[in-house]
Structures are given as C-alpha cells and as structure tokens.
C-alpha cells in the first residue's frame, strides 16, 4: 500500500508539473496578438492571462470528466496495475513535450498527454482497457476538426469585421477601435484556455485517485482541492511563462491588424469554449493557430504558404503517436522490471524535469526555442500590403474611367 | 466493440461557435461603424511599443488623429443624427457584451 501512495504522490507531482509547463508554454496563445498589436501592455496582458486561466479552470469540468472517466476503463483494471501506467504515460508526455520544445517543433501538450496515457495503457494492459469510441470521438476527431473549424469561423468573422467597417469614401474607418476589443477577446481566450487545458491535468489526477481507490469511479468529477491545485498551477505557469514570451515576441507576429486579431481571437475563444462545454479535449494551441491562418485568409488578396502549413500540420499529427511511443516505452520498463522499472522511470522524470529547468534558465532565446507557435502560423498566410480592390471599388474605378472618357470627348 | 461517434456534437460545437463569433464580432464592428458615423473615430495608440514590431508609429498615430478630427469636422450629419448613431454604437457594444456573458452563463449552467 505504501508504494501505491508513493506512486500516487509522484503522479500528482508530475501532473502538476505538466500543468505548469502547459501554462508556461501557452501564455502566448492568448496574449501574443494583443501585445503585438499593442492593445495591452505586456505586464498587464500576462497578469490578465494568469487571472483568467484561474477563473476558467473553475468554470467547467466537462473535459476533466472526459479524461478521468472516458478514455480508460478504469473500473476493469486493478489499481496496482493502473497507477504505474499513468505515471509512465505522464513521463511519455513530458519527455515528448521537452523534445519538441528543444527541437522547436510545433506540438500540442494536450495530445502529448493523451498519447502518453494511451500508449502506456496499451502496453501495460492491452487494447481492451481503452475505450476507443471515446478516444476517437472526444480526442482524435476534435483534434483534426477543431483547427479547421476555428479557421473557417475566423475566416468568416474576419470578412464580417472588414465588411461592416469598410468605408468607400477614404475617411477614417475606426478599425483602430478593434484594439480595445482585443483586450476583451484575448481575455476570453485566456479564460477558454483555463476551461480546457487545466481540466486535462485535473482529469489525470482524478484518474489516479480513482485507480488508488481514494475516489469512487461513479463520481468522476475532480475534487475541489484538485481543481484549486490545477487552477493555481496553470495560472502560475502562465504568469512565469509570460516574461520569456515578451522578450521574443518582437520576432513573432509580423502583420496582424487589429481587426484581424480581434476576429481570430473571437473565433478561438468561441471554438474552445463550445468544445469545453461538451467535454471535447482539444489542443488550444492548434485552435489558435487555425484561427490565425483563417483570419489571415479572410483578408483580401492573401495566399497560403502551403509549405509552412504542411510543417505545422505534420508536427500536429506526429504528437499523438510519438508521445504514445514514449509512454509505451516507459510502460514497458514497468511491465518488465516491476518496481525497479518505476524507479528508473522516476529517475528519468527527474532528469527530464531538471533538464527542462536548466534549459529555461539559459538566457539564450531564439526563434527555435521560444517563439509562439501561434505567431509562427501567422507566416502561413501571405497578405499583400496593397490588397486588390473589392467588387464595389472595381465598379467605382470603372465608372470613373467611363466618365473621364466621356469628359474628354 | 462498437465505436459510436456522436457526429451531431461536432455540428453543435460548430454552430454554437460560429454563431457566437459572428454575433460578437458583428456587433462590435457595427458599434465601431456607428461610432465613426457619430464623428468619434477611435484612434487607439498601442499601449507600448515592443521592438521590431511595426504596429503604428507615433507619427502615424498623430496623422490618424488629425484625419479623424478633420473627418469629424466635415461630418454632414446633424447633431440629432449623430447622437442617434452614438446611442446605436453603445447599444451594439452592449449587445456584444451580452452575447459574451450569455455564452459564459450557458457554459456554467450547462454542467
């Protein structure tokens, strides 16, 4: 029993660490655009993001229930078997996260988490322990669909925003005012981040508690202390992560106009919030990237740089299987070596955490290790400085030409 | 093992998200449009300039403010029409806020 308690504590510690890195990594999703267009002062933006992440984590626990209750048939497994597997899955997730971070590959912390858990369970118990229906309908399909959905929505609302504020007489169009609006939309994105990302860690901790028999499987909702711990951790991570992003942001977003940023953020926030309410666990990073690309396409005359889009998409698709493989390896150690395997895994985890810490302490910040992926996806769309005329403008120029010709005659 | 996928849920998410986004962005844009019509063109200088981001320079901001003032002076609307537009602008912003709050209430109440 003592070993079970020890592993449980390790799982909770690792899960909270994962939560922290998640917040650390994702501040940029919410706050890169308002800082870049100058809507918010960096300090204010980071504080706001941290606070709203905290609030968002309390708003809805649907996603946590998906993780703790849906993916793994925890009721069919023995507690002593499941706990080390959750542990192995977490190690898989953190390892993959760190690898992609070091290599500058775009990836998703959420998918790393799920990949790790699924991989470890597959190896440790077998396919029958995983509810593929839930995995498919609440994780894999949302992962594929959500960025596209967000892109379509962002495209639509960008068109709407530009169409409503367009003026044909060349007078000021007031689009500067979207900069005020961005303060609210980016706050909503931070809130949405809390309702989806903090939940994943809550789900894992709750799953571990159920596996250890400290919580009954019928009541899969996270307990209050779990919610508070996760909310505070992700808020702390968001706050700490912000400073790094601010330093590097200058190289990130190039040409996001206030109207476009406003639309992209409105789309991101509404997609994530609607998904959270139904318990879909999606990657906030991918949704935000999809929105940025979609809103770029919503501007006149823009073209897609398919090479960049492809690079981003491959990183996304790779995450689930790759972190699954790492999780499976960690689980293999446990299956083959028993308690010794757990010790080896724990040592590995400590090494990875330390390496991550040292890496973040190193002052060198360049595009490869610290740039926001969302900002990066802005480069996937090429927007000309001088957009082609709208239909109405073409008609106006044609009419002007015709009247000129009339006047000369 | 039967794998059942709730496709309707995806439709629901898409419909809810696009409706919310269009409402919020539409009303906000409408509010800005009315604000401009009322002769109060918002000129929002960025809160702080971070290096290497070409957002809008102070010179540009000054030029925008000048253009806005000029446009306001030449505004052909009567004071009554202007105040109607202003009220409309605030109403649109309020509707936008109501849409956001309503969405959040729906999520919290729906759990």
**What does the pLDDT profile of chain A (409 residues) look like in tens digits?**
577 788 888 888 888 888 887 787 776 666 766 766 666 777 777 788 888 888 888 887 788 887 777 777 766 666 567 788 888 888 888 887 777 766 666 667 778 888 888 888 888 777 777 777 777 777 788 888 888 899 999 999 999 988 888 877 767 777 777 878 888 888 888 888 888 888 888 888 888 888 777 777 666 677 888 888 888 888 888 887 665 554 444 334 446 677 888 898 899 899 988 888 888 888 887 888 888 888 888 888 777 777 777 877 777 778 778 888 888 888 887 777 777 777 787 788 788 778 766 766 654 444 344 445 555 566 666 766 677 777 777 787 888 888 877 766 6
pLDDT score of A129: 73
CB contact (8 A) between residue B24 and residue A277: no
Mapped onto helix, strand or coil, the DSSP state of residue A372 is coil
**Nearby residues of A16 by Cβ (< 8 Å), 6 or more positions away:** A201, A205, A229, A230, A233
- The structure's pTM equals 0.80
Whether B79 is covered by a domain: the verdict is yes
Q: Where are the alpha helices (DSSP H) in A212-338?
A: 224-248, 258-277, 284-297, 306-337
- Helix (H) or strand (E) holding A114, with range, is helix A109-124
> Which of A252-256, A342-346, B71-75, B88-92 shows the highest mean pLDDT?
B88-92
Whether B97 is covered by a domain: the verdict is yes
- Which residues lie across from A381 on neighbouring strands? A304
Instruction: Give residues 235 to 264 of A whose Cβ lies within 8 Å of B.
Output: 246, 249-251, 253-254, 258-259, 262-263
Give the nearest partner residue to A61 out of B17, B44, B111, using CB atoms.
B111
Question: Which residue of B lies nearest to A187 if distances are taken between CA atoms?
Answer: B100
pLDDT score of A251: 39
Whether B65 is covered by a domain: the verdict is yes
pLDDT score of A156: 92
Whether B49 is covered by a domain: the verdict is yes
**Nearby residues of B10 by Cβ (< 8 Å), 6 or more positions away:** A141, A142, A145
Return the C-alpha torsion angle B53, A46, A34, A273, nearest 10: 140
Tell me the mean pLDDT in the region B6-29.
87
Per-residue confidence band for B12, with pLDDT thresholds at 50, 70 and 90: confident
DSSP class of residue B2 equals: -
Per-residue confidence band for B52, with pLDDT thresholds at 50, 70 and 90: very low
**Parallel, antiparallel or unpaired: strands A303-304 and A381-382:** antiparallel
Whether B43 is covered by a domain: the verdict is yes
pLDDT score of A253: 42
- Report the percent of chain B where pLDDT is more than 90: 0
pLDDT score of A37: 65
Whether B73 is covered by a domain: the verdict is yes
Instruction: Give residues 80 to 109 of B whose Cβ lies within 8 Å of A.
Output: 100, 103-104, 106-108
- Helix (H) or strand (E) holding A342, with range, is helix A339-361
- Is the pLDDT higher at B63 or at A1? B63
Whether B1 is covered by a domain: the verdict is no
Report yes or no: A167 at the B interface, CB cutoff 8 Å. Answer: yes
Kindly report the nearest CA distance between residue A275 and chain B, in angstroms.
6
Kindly report the nearest CA distance between residue A274 and chain B, in angstroms.
5
Return the C-alpha torsion angle A186, A190, A196, A201, nearest 10: 160
- Is the pLDDT higher at A345 or at B31? B31
Q: Is A386 left (phi over 0), alpha (psi -120 to 50) or beta?
A: beta
pLDDT score of B96: 86
Tell me the mean pLDDT in the region B42-68.
62
Whether B68 is covered by a domain: the verdict is yes
The distance of Cα A6 from the centroid of its chain, to the nearest Å, equals 31
CB contact (8 A) between residue A41 and residue B48: yes
> Which of A140-144, B26-30, B68-72 shows the highest mean pLDDT?
B26-30
pLDDT score of A271: 92
CB contact (8 A) between residue A38 and residue B111: no
Distance CA B24, CA A262 (A): 10
Structural domain total, chain B:
1
Report yes or no: B26 at the A interface, CB cutoff 8 Å. Answer: yes
CB contact (8 A) between residue A38 and residue B3: no
Residues of B in contact with A178 (CB under 8 A): 28, 32
One-character DSSP codes across A24-55: HHHHHHHHHHHHHTTSS-HHHHHHHHHHHHHH
Distance CA A16, CA A28 (A): 20
Provide the residue range defining the domain that includes B68.
7-109
């Amino acid at each position: 029993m003592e070993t079970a308690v020890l592993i449980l504590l390790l799982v909770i510690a690792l899960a909270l660490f994962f939560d922290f890195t998640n917040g650390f990594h994702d501040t940029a999703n919410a706050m890169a655009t308002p800082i870049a267009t100058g809507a918010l002062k960096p300090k204010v933006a980071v504080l706001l993001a941290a606070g709203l992440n905290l609030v968002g984590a309390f708003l809805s626990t649907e996603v946590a229930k998906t993780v703790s209750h849906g993916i793994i048939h925890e009721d069919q497994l023995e507690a002593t078997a499941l706990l080390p597997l959750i542990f192995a899955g977490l190690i898989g997730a953190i390892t993959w996260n760190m690898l992609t971070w070091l290599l500058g590959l775009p990836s998703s912390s959420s998918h790393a988490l799920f990949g790790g858990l699924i991989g470890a369970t597959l190896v440790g118990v077998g396919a029958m322990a995983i509810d593929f229906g839930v995995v498919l309908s609440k994780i894999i399909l949302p992962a594929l669909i959500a960025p596209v959905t967000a892109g379509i929505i962002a495209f639509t609302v960008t068109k709407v925003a530009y169409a409503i504020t367009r003026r044909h007489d060349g007078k000021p169009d007031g689009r500067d005012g979207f900069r005020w609006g961005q303060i609210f939309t980016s706050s909503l994105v931070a809130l949405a981040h809390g309702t989806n990302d903090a939940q994943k860690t809550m789900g894992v901790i709750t799953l571990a508690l159920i596996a250890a028999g400290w919580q009954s499987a019928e009541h899969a909702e996270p307990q209050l202390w779990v919610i508070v711990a996760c909310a505070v951790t992700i808020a702390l991570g968001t706050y700490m992560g912000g400073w790094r992003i601010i330093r590097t942001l200058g190289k990130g977003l190039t040409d996001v106009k206030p109207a476009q940023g406003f639309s992209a953020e409105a789309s991101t926030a509404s997609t994530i919030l609607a998904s959270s309410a139904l318990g879909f666990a999606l990657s906030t990073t991918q949704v935000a990237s999809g929105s940025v690309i979609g809103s770029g396409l919503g501007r006149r005359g823009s073209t897609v740089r398919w090479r960049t889009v492809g690079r981003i998409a491959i990183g996304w698709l790779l995450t689930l299987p790759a972190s699954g493989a790492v999780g499976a390896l960690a689980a293999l150690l446990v299956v083959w070596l028993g308690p010794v395997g757990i010790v080896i895994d724990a040592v590995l985890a400590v090494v990875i955490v330390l390496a991550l810490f040292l890496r973040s302490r190193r002052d060198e910040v360049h595009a490869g290790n610290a740039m926001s992926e969302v900002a990066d996806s802005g480069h996937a769309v090429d927007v000309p400085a001088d957009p082609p005329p709208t239909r109405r403008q073409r008609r106006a120029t044609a009419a002007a030409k015709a009247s000129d010709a009339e006047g000369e005659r | 093992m039967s794998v059942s996928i709730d496709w309707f849920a995806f439709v629901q998410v898409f419909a809810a998200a696009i409706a919310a986004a269009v409402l919020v962005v539409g009303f906000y844009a409408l509010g800005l449009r009315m604000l401009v019509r009322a002769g109060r063109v918002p000129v929002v200088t960025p809160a702080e300039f971070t290096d290497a981001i070409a957002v809008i320079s102070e010179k540009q901001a000054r030029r925008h403010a000048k253009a806005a003032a000029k446009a306001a002076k030449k505004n052909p609307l009567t004071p009554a029409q202007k105040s109607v537009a202003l009220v409309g602008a605030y109403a649109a912003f309020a509707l936008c806020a109501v849409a956001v709050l309503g969405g959040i209430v729906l999520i919290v109440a729906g759990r």
